[in-house]
Amino acid sequence: MAKPTQAHISKIISKSESPFLRDRTLKQTEYYMGAKLLEVGINPNKGVIYRWKTVDQGSSEEWTYSAYWGDSREKIEAEEA
């Protein structure tokens, strides 16, 4: 079985949330991603790139935080070049 080369965490955030709560949710999501990467044996500080994606859903937004390493990282970097 192939090893994973990407991970994603999604959160639904109300647009009416205060800036403090939105910022706290963003920081918590980044923290949880680091813990998730450590669980699968990836050092979150080396060889990993991160990307945020926001999707408007009317009165809320879906935030997705993604981490890419290995082959997935190379593919993302090639697409962005």
If you average pLDDT over every residue of the chain, what do you get? Answer: 94
- In this prediction, residue 47 carries a pLDDT of 92
Beta bridge partners of 49: 68
Q: Decide if 32 is inside a domain.
A: yes
Q: Decide if 76 is inside a domain.
A: no
Between CA 21 and CA 78 the distance in angstroms is 35
Contact 65, 29 (CB under 8 A): yes
pTM equals 0.88
Q: Domain tally for the chain? A: 1
Between CA 73 and CA 50 the distance in angstroms is 9
pLDDT tens-place string over residues 36-72: 999 989 999 999 999 999 999 999 999 999 999 999 9
Q: Coil, helix or strand for 44?
A: coil
Contact 5, 73 (CB under 8 A): yes
Structural domain containing residue 32: 19-69
